[in-house]
Each structure stands twice: as structure tokens, then as C-alpha cells.
Chain A
Amino acid sequence: MTFQRTLFSQCAFFLTSLFFSYTLQAQQSSLRGKVVDKRTGETVSGARVLLAPEGKPRETQGKITPRDGSFEFTDLKPATYRITITAPLYKPLSRTETIGETMTSIEPEPTVFALTPDVRGLEEVVVTGVASRTQKSVAEIAVSRVDAAALTETNTYQDLTQLLAGKVAGVSIAPASGNVGGGVRFNVRSGGGLYGTGQPVIFVDGVRFDNSEFGFFAGGQLPSSLADLNPEDIQSVEVLKGPASSALYGTSGSNGVVLIKTKLGSRKAALNKFTIEAKAITGWNEPSRLYTEQQALSFREANALLRRGNLTQFSVGMSGNAGFVNYYASIDRRQEQGIIAQNALERTSFRANVEVFPSEIMSVKLNTNFVTSNILTPQNDDNVYGLLNNTLGFRPENVYSNAFGSNRPPNAQRALESVENSAFTQRFIASAEILLKPLAGLTLRGVAGYDGANNQFRDFFPATYPYIRITNGKRDLEYRRLEQFTVDLNAAYNAQILDDVQSTTIVGMQLFARTSRGFDLAAQDFATTLIEDVETARNFVAANESFREDREACVYVQEELNYKGAYFLSFGVRNDYASSVGPEAPTIFYPRASAAVRLDKMGVLPEEINLAKVRVAYGQSGQLPSSLDGVARYWGSIQSGYGVGALVQRIGNPAVQPERIAELEFGLEMEWENLYGFDATYYLQNASNSIVDFFNSPSTGLTVSSFPRNVGRIRGWGFESGVYATPLRTASTELRFNAVFNYADNVVEDIGGVAPLFAGVGRNVIMPGQRRSAFYLFRVLEPRYLADGNYDYAQGPKIDSVRSFTGASVPIVTGSLSVSFRFLNDFTFSAMAETALGHSLYNNSRMLSTNPARGNNLEYNTLATQLGLPGNAAQPSSIRALPAVEGVQRLTPNTSEYRAAAQRFALLDHRQFYNGVEPADWVRLREVSLSYNATNFLRGLVGSDVLKSLILTASARNLALWTRYSGVEVEVSRDGSRSLSRGLDNYTLEQPRVFNFSLSVGF
């Protein structure tokens, strides 16, 4: 007998000895069964069968069905048993079986257990509020669930965002760049309010998870905190998409809430007691597209920077159940190189999750995760040391001019690749959850969590090379310590208040505290090229230290009513408190209400329709001001040649309050024959009191920061839907389709009467009547000519007298189409394509190349030569200095050819921002994978249960991209767009094409 078994029986004995007498000498019997598909009658393999004497769940035992769907339990005492059968994509089945004494040796016919398909997981329990959980089939709100554990079984993912991309209706995810470990931006619905980063709040096992970007400015593609989370540890991800659903989800949930649950052994999965799973992944990143001469004359130099980067990952996970303890533990290490020098990630993650059931009324869950990672980020964007900007931005003979000026060393590429920018992280995340059911209907739940990260950043320019603006090398050390505490307490009381009416009353509170402290120390001018530490650099050029503390709290009450399992109604209120709110602001109060009706329960719809639900939900939530926003004026110190002096460093507003976002959503969910279905949600978002960052005019002298005022309004609306179908389903073959379609739009209604706010060097606008962050520019109309018919470069083209809308910087329509095909029992092929439509980008990479001083665009140079601009004394010096393209004939002014060339040339003039905006709709073949589950094959071969599973997968990411955009990459999001800039391609590193091969073995 195994150790677990012994432990199990001992504990059971301890707690139940007063009532039960556990004996092995009882009369024994057996139960034989067969699991089949209710629709097709075919056997179901891989079903999990759990058996326990009624009322004694701790005596559960289990089996997994092989290919013929059969199972057998022997040595059973005569009693009434509860049998529960679960299988992927089937509704759980639970019923009682009475086992009598069978003294004979005649084998009875196996009992048939028929499972109803549930391809959508409608019966799975989802989170609908901070203390509310219900089945998806009766949820009053749109909630999306991603079964991460199933996905990681047949594919491999670098991080959380890859896991979610294209799989959640209403959410699109834009990576900042192709940097390994780089930041991302979640675009949730129509964007919520006007203020803030628009990012959802992320909870991991009940702990608020820091999702900031950090590190030195190496260009707008900073490392992301999300890279710390190991996707192999994730069991499921649920997304609440707006205030209608997140109104009671504590503070700051106005842009949605992402709830991540990590893996845990399950008491229900008690069958094997424990499983050890080892997984090895190997593969590589490679450039998906190379630069061409049309993009830059120096395309060869840029392509020389791109490389193949290897990746490997090893993980060992152990999960199981030991009586009243469920556990999951894993160790995981990933090493990955990006497609450009100085881009790499190394992550080691340890996780230990334990769930204990000391009694039937209580459970305690402890989750701990320790991660250590090191991310190397290359110099990016238009930063003077940017690798791509130094190549793509200059003619081949002038490459690396930005980084070295006139002191360009012969080995400039190597010199720039020697710049090191690393972020070293140690992060510890822990949570404890206590669940108490002291009496029937009452559930008390308490969660306390901690997320603490130590980050060390190092920015290093070796003394060996003459980098511009740096004397003899530089070392910059930065340290950041961030700690977040989350406390969540709630009580739910469930009672039958009338005939057929169930009531659940929920009361709770949430506390959140965040402290961050950090310092920065930079020195340059190394005394020797041999030693690299900061002490060896002679001159300190920066020293900063900071400490911030923020707190948030909320109290909420909710009432949920359920009439006959067909009508659902709930309403609630929340009161918020936050330290960043100004002392003169009013109290913060948010209401919510929702209702749903199950039409299929009315008996009026055909039987084939197994789900027809209409739902409506309304809720309000808010976006808090930033830390310190509530204080009118803060002074700090400034270092200068005079010593240390005082200056205003922050301007705030004592009356600042959160932005308020109200959302109304209507939904319809239908499913036929448990195989085909769709869900659709239409929503309206209305944000008022939006915080607009006002900038004082320079003449006030108070421009060191913006200051917040609650004057804005923005309205958003959209439609999101998912369609799914399983047209083919037999024991050995299954074909599934899944499509996601999202439409989201918004219009800014008010920004408090200030002039339009231009972000991203004046390309994106925020102004009434326009979509947020739209490109809003002066259109280029036609070229101007000199009196003699020659092109007038000095005056430039004629432009419109007013600005107008010239493109949306965030896609209006996004969507995905996935297919999953299981064949020959054990092979699964899956693929997903994603698309974004109604989308434009500002191609700053091209705009900089068409600057005649850079002269690095073939078409521009050719046209300029045709127009006779290079070397022409009548033209300004900038264009005069542009080298003419050899072999290109000069056209004659005043001819139609000349004018046609001039027309095109006017549209390449770098001085007109309008010329940078390009349509950038795209379709991308995002995921392709093939996996082979060799478990059955091996079992047949080895004939033993030692090897519980063996899965081989091969997968690829970003295999193909179709777009008319002229640059290499369409998914760009400068700063992960924490800044206001949207859709700015500023020498953004392309998304790599990734190939992964994995082997997963279970013991």
C-alpha cells in the first residue's frame, strides 16, 4: 500500500472514527461500467470516473477510461455510491448507484453511462464577480474562459499573452514588438474610459499581479512584468471585460479583470494519487520577414543584425492528492534568444500550491510562486543607440551615424551590439485562501496575497567604444522594489426565500496596498576598459531615490436571485476608497444590476436547442488617478552646477476623483445539439468625469508634469461574438471550429474645452468628435511648383487648411478563426489565424528614411532625381545635398510625367505627418501545431501503467502575414502603449517566426 493510501486512511480514521468503522473485512463487490457519447453511442476514452460512498467524499477513488470506454471498481462494500464522470468537452455526469452484495462470480453486464457533449464548457463554473461563481450557462454577464492547461498540452506558448491572443472575444492583444520578454497592450472592448493605460487588472490566484513595464529607456519596448508568469503553470484564465461584469470586482477594474488560476492537484482527480509530468521544449525564433531595398537602401546592414535565436524550456510538475491534501509543484526553466543581439530571456520558476481540507466545512489553499528572470533588451526605436534606427535610418555608407556621430568605429555593429541593457527580477507571489462553510448556505471566504518583486536594471556602455554623448563608457544601475498586498474578505449566504426562489446575499471588502521604492545610480568615464563596475567609472551623472505608497479599499454588497433555474437577477453596490483620490473629492460609489433568462427552460423552443439565454447587465466602475495626483504641488530637488536646489516636481489637483465608466451590455447565447453555438454581446460604454491630463502653458512655469482634471467624456460601443461548431465527432476523430469577431469603436465627447491633445509627436489626437488616438492630420493636396515648372521643395506640397481624420490607430475589427482536428485517435492538428481591420499605422521608419538628410529610400531618391532636385542650386541645401540615383533620367518640367512624379513625391515628403499614415489591415497565421498523444500506443507497447502519458508536439507561430503595409511589422505598440501614442512604427522589431518542438511525459 502506498504512502498516500496510508496517510489517507489514517486521517480519515482520525476524523471519522466516532461515526464510522473503517474496515477492510466487509463483504465485497464490484462495479463495471462503460462510458459512451449520448449522441453517437461511441465509447469515450479519457473520461475520469470517480466513485465514493454517498456522503463520504473523502473515500473517493477513481479511474480513467481507456479507448474502449470501460472501467471497473472492485473491492466495494455494499452501499449507495455517488459516481461522477467527467470528460473533456462533455457535461459532467453525476448519479448514485447502489451496490449490493454479490457473492457469485458471475460478471454482470457493464452499466452504460452516456455523456452529453458540452463543447463550450457551459457547465463549468466561472467567476462572475469577486465573490460570485456560477455556471457559464446561467451567467448574467459575458465571461470568457480559456482552458490554458488544455492549450499547453497541444501547443507551446512563451507567455500569458500568447496564450490569450485571439481566444477571447472582445479582447485583442498587441505586443510592443518582437522583443523576447517585451511588453504588451491589452485592447479590451472599446477601451473603457479616456484616462489611464486601458489595461485590465490581473489577478493570479486572488492576488493582484503587477502588470507594469519597467526598466531603462532602451526605446519604447520595455520588458513586461507578465513575462514572469510561466504559462505551463496556468490552469485557466477568465476575463471579465468591463464595468457591467467587473463593477463589484474591487477597485480599478474598469478596463476588465483577468483572473488566472494556476494548477492544483484535485481531490476529484484522486485516481492516480499523483502525477509527475516532465516537459521539454526546444525550438527557435527566426526573422519572419527580411528588409528589402524598397524599405531602406541599407537593408543589408539591417538584415545583418537579425539572427536565429534558440529557445529551450524544461519543466517538471507534480500534482496529486494525499487524502485531505491536494498539491501541485513545479520547476521550470526557460532560455530564449530573440532575433536580434542583446535580446534574451532566462526564467526559472518554482511553484508550490497546496489545498488542504482539514474538515468538510473548511478548505485552505496556499499558493506560492518564486520566479527569477533575466531579460536582455536591445536598444530600440528612435533611441540614438537603436540598432534598427542606426541601420535602416541611414544610407549604407552612413550607418551607425546616430550612435557614434563622427567617431564611428570600424566595427560599429559590434560596438552597438555590445551595449547591454538587462533587467534582473526576483519575484515572489503568494496567496492564502480560506473557505469556510460553517452552516448550510453560508460561505465565508478570505484571501490574502502578496506580490513582491525586486528588479535590478543595468545599462552598460563599454568604455571601448566612442558612443555619442557618453564619455569613456557608462554604467547605470537601477533598483526597484515593488510590493503589493491584496486582502479580500467576503461572506455569501444562500437561502430559499420563497418557493422556487433562491437568494444569495454577498457582503465583502477588498484592501489593496502597494509600495514601491527604488534608486538609480549612473556613472560614466571608466578609468580602464578592463573593469566594468560602477565604482571604476569616475563621474556620477545621476542619482535618484524614490518611495511611493498607494492604498485602495472597497466595500460591496450584492443580492442574487434565481427563480426556477430559468430567471436570474442580481444587483449590488460598491463603495471605494483610495489614497490617490484628492482630499476634496466626493465619495466614490458604484452600482450594478444584471438579469438573464433561460429561454430553453420555458418549453417553447425545439428540443435541439439546448441553450438559449438572453442577458442584460449594467455596471459602473472607475479608473483611479495616479499616485500623488491629489496634492496641488510637490517640490523636489535638482542637482546642478550650483549644488542641490529646489524645484516644483509634480503638479496635482486636490479635487481629483476617479473617472467613472458605465457599461450596459446585452447578450444572447445559443447552442444546438450541444455542438453548434454562438454567443454575442453588444455593449455601450459611457465614461464621464474622465481625467484629462492638462498641461499648463509653458508661460506658467508649471509644466514639470501634467495635472489631472475630471472634465472628459468618451462613449464607446461594440459587438463581440464567438461562433463554434463541432461538425465531426467520433471516438477517433473530432473537428472543431471556433471564430471570434469583435467590433469596437469609440468617440471622444469632451475634453474640458482644452485644445486637442496630440500625442506621439503630434500624430494621434484626443479631441471631441474624433475616435480616441485617431490620426488627425493636415492632408497633403498637391505639389507646389516654382515659376519655371520645377518642383518647389522649399515650400513643400500644398496641404489642407484644416486637420482631418486620416486613420484609426487601433483596429476597429479584430477576429480569429481556429480549427482543431483530431484524427487517428491520437493526432491533433490545430491552427489559428488572426486579423485586424480598419487599422492604420504611422510608419515613422519610412518617414525618417525619406528625410533627404538621410536619403535612404529608393523611391524617394528616384523621384527626387527625376524631378531634378539633387545638386540643383535653385533648391534648398537639404535636398540639394541628396545624392542623385545613377541611371535615372531627369524628367522635363511641365510635362505630365514630371507632374505625376511630383504628385507621388509630394506624398513622400517627410515634413508632412499625413504622409506617414498607411493602411495596415492584416491577417496573420498565428498558430499551427500538430501533436501526437502516444499514451495509448505506448501502453500497448509496454503494457504497464508506469508511463501515464506521452505527448509530442510540433508547433509554429507567425508562419505567415498578409498585409499591404509597407513596413515589416503590423503589430506595433510603442511602450506597450502605456503612453498615449498608438500605432507608431518607430523601427519596431518584427514579430519572430517561432518553431517549437515539445515532448511531455507523465509518470
Chain B
Amino acid sequence: MLHILFANISSVWKTIIRGGTDIFVCVLCLICASCSGFVQDIRRPIDLITDDALNTESQADFLIRGVQAQFSESYSDAALYAGGLSDELFFDSRTGAGGLVVYEEVDNALTIDRSNTTLITAQNRLGRYRFHADDIAQRAEKISFTLDSSHRRMAFQGFFHGAVARYFYAAYVGINKQQGGGVIDNGAFIPSSAMNDSALAKLTLASQNMTSAYETRLVSTFAARIHLMEGRFAAAQQAAQNGLRKGDASFQALFNLVSSNQLWLNAGLGRNVYLPARRFDTLYLRQDPLDTVRIKLRGPTTRSGFTFYTQTKYAAQDSPMPFLTWQENELMLAECELRLADNAASALTRINTVRTSYTGLRALPAGTAATLDLIYTERDKELFLTGMRIIDQRRFNRWHLRPDTWRYMPIVQPEINNNPNLPPLVRD
């Protein structure tokens, strides 16, 4: 019985094979088509979405929060490394941070390895911040909004953060030890002043999309800071006069436990890679113990015979960092008044307005000479750990290291390698 069955099967097979190549080819084609269909029939990832899917009004807030997150990252990165480069923070291996070569290199500022992954990461984040800010500004024009206010809000965020990112390049990045500036989207090197101009241009666009008077004042304070950095005191004064006022909320960078404040993480209770300069405890706090409202330190801690303090201005992983405050605006006005009109009395009043805005901190006595020195010191205290010190050191020409040291964070090697518009391999 079985052998009869097999004999039948055999004859069928023989027929098929004799039936020739036509069937064979047809079967192959069918198989190929089904293979092609098989590999395309896959489910999409649950955690990712394609680019064009975000071009709707309902995604605007989602996109804005993404840019804001990157603002916080970039700002705290900048404040950390600028703090190390300047005389605000210093490195000492005796805290146990030995071996973290890059932080020591940045502190010494003599040779900084452009290939260091920590620095590359920071510059990648800044680039990403700039890209996403510009992206939402462009996307705001692509999306058809039902509400004009939604459109303005998205455009404002795009332009404002576009300006902040450019300002970060101008203030913190450099092509070599002395020359600040950065690169945008594989372009040629843009020196700090031109980069700042481009930041101001973005601010102008932002101001065309404002939705509140607070935003107007915020943009003005920021513009004033940029003018001041460029030494344009009249322009700075004019902008600051329209800037943030006493009582205005600070514009802050926010953090959480996933995206932590770098100053907590590497220059604070997270770990003591960087320590606040000794003048904060041995000079400022000794002169004026009540200034702990602004200069928050914990210590002293002694380790291997070495005594140090840890900053607690950012005492937690998610402590917010002020970026633009009315106090800074006030100090900028004081400085401009001194520089432009030598108006020491008004300057002192403004300094005291700032000081007395803190509970417990006393005004400087009448008759105190309001000099640029005083401004420089008050800014050091008021703007403690906000990335301003390095800008001030350059502005006031008070560099603390030998002349052949880095005053900016170097443009990293991947930029030099991959950007066709930059000169090849720069050796320092």
C-alpha cells in the first residue's frame, strides 16, 4: 500500500521536474516576493517616531520642552568647565578626584586634550541645543496653527534659545587659546563678536514673537549682557534699562534626577572634582559672614591633610540654576553708569539694591567707593557659579594664569575632523 503511494508521489515529482523550469522560476519569484514582504512587515519601535510626524500644533509643547531640557544641560556644562578654566573653581587631586585628567587639564588651562570624551560630550550637547532651537523656529513656520499665540510661543522659544546657544559659543568656546567663537552647522569659524551679533539677531526675531511683557524684559537683559561682553556699554545700558526689574522672577535652568545639575554632579556634593576658589571662604565670607545667602559653602572638610569647602548653592541634583536675574541687570546698569557717566552714587545704590534683596545681607555703608573693582567683586559674589566669572575675567582683563593658557574651551577634535570648513588637525 505504502509503496504504491510513494510510487504515485514519485511520478508526480517526476512530472513536476519534467514540467520544466517554468514552474521552478515561478516558485522562485513567488518566494522572492514573499521574502520581500516578510522583511517589510515589521512593527515600529515604541520609543521613537519619525521626523515629519512631529509637524503638528499638538506637538509644539513636546518640542519646546525638548529644547528647554537641552538648555539646562548646556548651561550647566558651560558653567562647570568655564568655572574650572577661570579662577572660580579649582582642581585638587587630594579630594580623591585624582586621575580625572581632563578636569585638571581644564583647571591648568595649559594643554587641553581636544579628543577628551567628556569635553566632546559637552560640545555635542551644545551643538544639539543649537540645532533643536533652530529646528523648532523653522518648524513653527511649517506647522499651520489654529492659535496665533501658540505659533508665537513656539517661534519665541526657537529664536530665544537660538540666541542663547550662539551666546554660549561666543562666551565659552574658542578655536585657540585666545580667540573665542564657535561653529554652526559645519560652517566656517565664527569669532565671538560675530557670534554675539548673530545671537542678537535671533533675539530681535524672538522679540517679534513675544507673548508677555516679562519676555520683553528678559530679552533686553540678555541683550544687555551680550553688549556688555562686547564692550558696547551704551547699548548695554540702553538694553538693561528695558531689562528685568526688581521683583521679576529669575530665568532659570531646571533639572531633575535624570538630567542633573553638573555643578552638583562634579563640583559639589555629587563629587568634588572642582572646589570653589579659596577667596570665597577665606576672603568674602570672612569679611562678610552674612554673605552665605549668596555664597553657600559646606565645610571645612579635611582629607589627607588638605582642607576644602564644597559649594551648596546647588545642594541637590535638581537645584535650579539662575541664568538671567534682575539682580544681574541691576549690576549691569551700575557698571554702565560708572563706565559711561562715572556715576558712583547711583552705582552704589544699585549694588545695595541687589544686596538688600537677600534677607540678612546688609547694604554697603554710604561712602563706599563704587569702583569697577567693587563691581567686579560684587559680580563675583552675586553671580557665583553661573558661568559669568570667566567672561568678567576677560572683560576686566584679570586673567589669573600665564598668558599662554586657554581662555575658552577648545573646539573639539571631532569638529576639526568632520567639518570641511575648518582647517585640518590643529595642534596646540
Within 8 A of A (CB), among B31-68: 31-32, 35-36, 38-43, 45-51, 53-54, 59, 62-68
Stretch at the interface among B91-99, B281-289, B382-390: B91-99
Whether A645 and B131, one on each chain, are in contact in the complex, defined by CB atoms closer than 8 angstroms, is no
Whether A641 and B255, one on each chain, are in contact in the complex, defined by CB atoms closer than 8 angstroms, is yes
Whether A701 and B96, one on each chain, are in contact in the complex, defined by CB atoms closer than 8 angstroms, is no
Whether A881 and B304, one on each chain, are in contact in the complex, defined by CB atoms closer than 8 angstroms, is no
Mark each residue of chain B from 317 to 360: 1 if its CB lies under 8 Å from any CB of chain A, else 0: 11010000000000000000000000000000000000000000
B93's nearest neighbour on chain A, judged by CB, is A853
Give the complex CA separation of A695 and B130 in angstroms. 17
**Chain A residue contacts of B115, Cβ below 8 A:** 758, 761-762
Stretch at the interface among B208-216, B373-381, B413-421: B413-421
Whether A439 and B10, one on each chain, are in contact in the complex, defined by CB atoms closer than 8 angstroms, is yes
**Chain A residue contacts of B182, Cβ below 8 A:** 699
From A18, A697, A854, residue with most partner B Cβ within 10 Å: A697
Whether A553 and B38, one on each chain, are in contact in the complex, defined by CB atoms closer than 8 angstroms, is yes
**Chain A residue contacts of B117, Cβ below 8 A:** 761
Whether B39 and A577, one on each chain, are in contact in the complex, defined by CB atoms closer than 8 angstroms, is yes
Whether B185 and A547, one on each chain, are in contact in the complex, defined by CB atoms closer than 8 angstroms, is no
**Chain B residue contacts of A910, Cβ below 8 A:** 101
B48's nearest neighbour on chain A, judged by CB, is A634
Give the complex CA separation of A692 and B342 in angstroms. 61
B303 within 8 A of A: yes
B193 within 8 A of A: no
Q: From residue A975, how far is it (CB to closest CB) to chain B in Å?
A: 15
Whether A493 and B96, one on each chain, are in contact in the complex, defined by CB atoms closer than 8 angstroms, is no
- From A507, A646, A876, contact of B65 by CB (8 A): A646
**Chain B residue contacts of A635, Cβ below 8 A:** 48-51, 53-54
B200 within 8 A of A: no
Whether A405 and B419, one on each chain, are in contact in the complex, defined by CB atoms closer than 8 angstroms, is no
B192 within 8 A of A: no
From B43, B49, B129, residue with most partner A Cβ within 10 Å: B49
Mark each residue of chain A from 675 to 705: 1 if its CB lies under 8 Å from any CB of chain B, else 0: 0000000000000000000111111111110
A646-B10 contact given A551-B39, A697-B186, A700-B127, CB 8 Å threshold = no
Stretch at the interface among B77-85, B118-126, B148-156, B391-399: B118-126
- From B2, B54, B123, B253, contact of A359 by CB (8 A): B2
B369 within 8 A of A: no
Give the complex CA separation of A695 and B9 in angstroms. 60
B257 within 8 A of A: yes
- From A439, A509, A549, contact of B42 by CB (8 A): A549
Within 8 A of A (CB), among B1-39: 1-2, 6, 9-10, 13-14, 17, 24, 28, 31-32, 35-36, 38-39
Give the complex CA separation of A524 and B50 in angstroms. 33
Give the complex CA separation of A124 and B46 in angstroms. 49
Whether A704 and B128, one on each chain, are in contact in the complex, defined by CB atoms closer than 8 angstroms, is yes
Give the complex CA separation of A810 and B191 in angstroms. 44
A104 within 8 A of B: no
Whether A701 and B272, one on each chain, are in contact in the complex, defined by CB atoms closer than 8 angstroms, is no
**Chain A residue contacts of B70, Cβ below 8 A:** 638, 647
B187 within 8 A of A: yes
A701-B46 contact given A398-B96, A555-B35, A695-B418, CB 8 Å threshold = no
A578 within 8 A of B: yes
A755-B418 contact given A553-B39, A638-B66, A639-B256, CB 8 Å threshold = yes
A539 within 8 A of B: yes
A794's nearest neighbour on chain B, judged by CB, is B110
**Chain A residue contacts of B257, Cβ below 8 A:** 524, 539-541
Give the complex CA separation of A871 and B303 in angstroms. 19
- Size range of the chain B interface in the assembly: 35 or more
Whether B13 and A442, one on each chain, are in contact in the complex, defined by CB atoms closer than 8 angstroms, is yes
Within 8 A of B (CB), among A402-425: 402, 404-406, 408
- From A468, A854, A877, contact of B271 by CB (8 A): A468
A551-B41 contact given A644-B62, A646-B63, A695-B418, CB 8 Å threshold = yes
A557-B28 contact given A546-B46, A698-B124, CB 8 Å threshold = yes
- Size range of the chain A interface in the assembly: 35 or more
A25 within 8 A of B: no
A631 within 8 A of B: yes
**Chain A residue contacts of B270, Cβ below 8 A:** 468-469
A878-B93 contact given A638-B259, A848-B99, CB 8 Å threshold = yes
Q: From residue B24, how far is it (CB to closest CB) to chain A in Å?
A: 8
- From A511, A577, A641, A762, contact of B253 by CB (8 A): A641
Give the complex CA separation of A405 and B271 in angstroms. 7
Within 8 A of B (CB), among A641-665: 641-650
Whether B35 and A577, one on each chain, are in contact in the complex, defined by CB atoms closer than 8 angstroms, is yes
Whether B96 and A640, one on each chain, are in contact in the complex, defined by CB atoms closer than 8 angstroms, is no
- From A546, A575, A631, A640, contact of B47 by CB (8 A): A546
Within 8 A of B (CB), among A452-479: 468-469, 471
**Chain B residue contacts of A405, Cβ below 8 A:** 95-97, 271-272
Give the complex CA separation of A794 and B36 in angstroms. 63
Q: From residue A549, how far is it (CB to closest CB) to chain B in Å?
A: 4
Whether B93 and A881, one on each chain, are in contact in the complex, defined by CB atoms closer than 8 angstroms, is yes
A550's nearest neighbour on chain B, judged by CB, is B42
Q: From residue B412, how far is it (CB to closest CB) to chain A in Å?
A: 6
Q: From residue A764, how far is it (CB to closest CB) to chain B in Å?
A: 13
**Chain B residue contacts of A471, Cβ below 8 A:** 317
Q: From residue A751, how far is it (CB to closest CB) to chain B in Å?
A: 11
Give the complex CA separation of A577 and B17 in angstroms. 28
Whether A645 and B120, one on each chain, are in contact in the complex, defined by CB atoms closer than 8 angstroms, is no
A359's nearest neighbour on chain B, judged by CB, is B2
Within 8 A of B (CB), among A767-787: none
A26 within 8 A of B: no
Give the complex CA separation of A702 and B51 in angstroms. 13
Mark each residue of chain B from 130 to 146: 1 if its CB lies under 8 Å from any CB of chain A, else 0: 11101000000000000
**Chain A residue contacts of B41, Cβ below 8 A:** 551
A548 within 8 A of B: yes
A555-B31 contact given A405-B96, A647-B69, A647-B132, CB 8 Å threshold = yes
Mark each residue of chain A from 375 to 398: 1 if its CB lies under 8 Å from any CB of chain B, else 0: 000000000000000000110011
**Chain B residue contacts of A701, Cβ below 8 A:** 127-132, 134, 185
Give the complex CA separation of A631 and B46 in angstroms. 15
- From A509, A557, A631, A645, contact of B66 by CB (8 A): A645
Whether A438 and B6, one on each chain, are in contact in the complex, defined by CB atoms closer than 8 angstroms, is yes
B66's nearest neighbour on chain A, judged by CB, is A645
A554 within 8 A of B: yes
A647's nearest neighbour on chain B, judged by CB, is B66
B72 within 8 A of A: yes
B234 within 8 A of A: no
Give the complex CA separation of A701 and B414 in angstroms. 12
B254 within 8 A of A: yes
**Chain A residue contacts of B187, Cβ below 8 A:** 699
A361 within 8 A of B: yes
B182's nearest neighbour on chain A, judged by CB, is A699
A762's nearest neighbour on chain B, judged by CB, is B115
Mark each residue of chain A from 437 to 452: 1 if its CB lies under 8 Å from any CB of chain B, else 0: 0111010000000000
A125 within 8 A of B: no
Pairs across A and B, CB under 8 Å, 20 listed: A438-B10, A439-B9, A511-B35, A515-B43, A546-B47, A554-B35, A635-B49, A638-B259, A642-B72, A645-B65, A647-B132, A648-B131, A649-B48, A698-B123, A698-B414, A699-B182, A700-B186, A703-B127, A853-B93, A911-B101
Interface residue ranges, A against B (CB under 8 Å): 18, 359, 361, 393-394, 397-398, 401-402, 404-406, 408, 438-440, 442, 468-469, 471, 493, 507, 509, 511, 515, 524, 539-542, 544-555, 557, 575, 577-579, 628, 631-650, 694-704, 754-756, 758, 761-762, 794, 796, 848, 851, 853-854, 876-878, 881, 910-911
Interface residue ranges, B against A (CB under 8 Å): 1-2, 6, 9-10, 13-14, 17, 24, 28, 31-32, 35-36, 38-43, 45-51, 53-54, 59, 62-70, 72-73, 93-99, 101, 104, 108, 110-111, 115, 117, 120, 123-124, 126-132, 134, 182-187, 253-259, 265, 270-272, 301, 303-304, 317-318, 320, 412, 414-419, 424-425
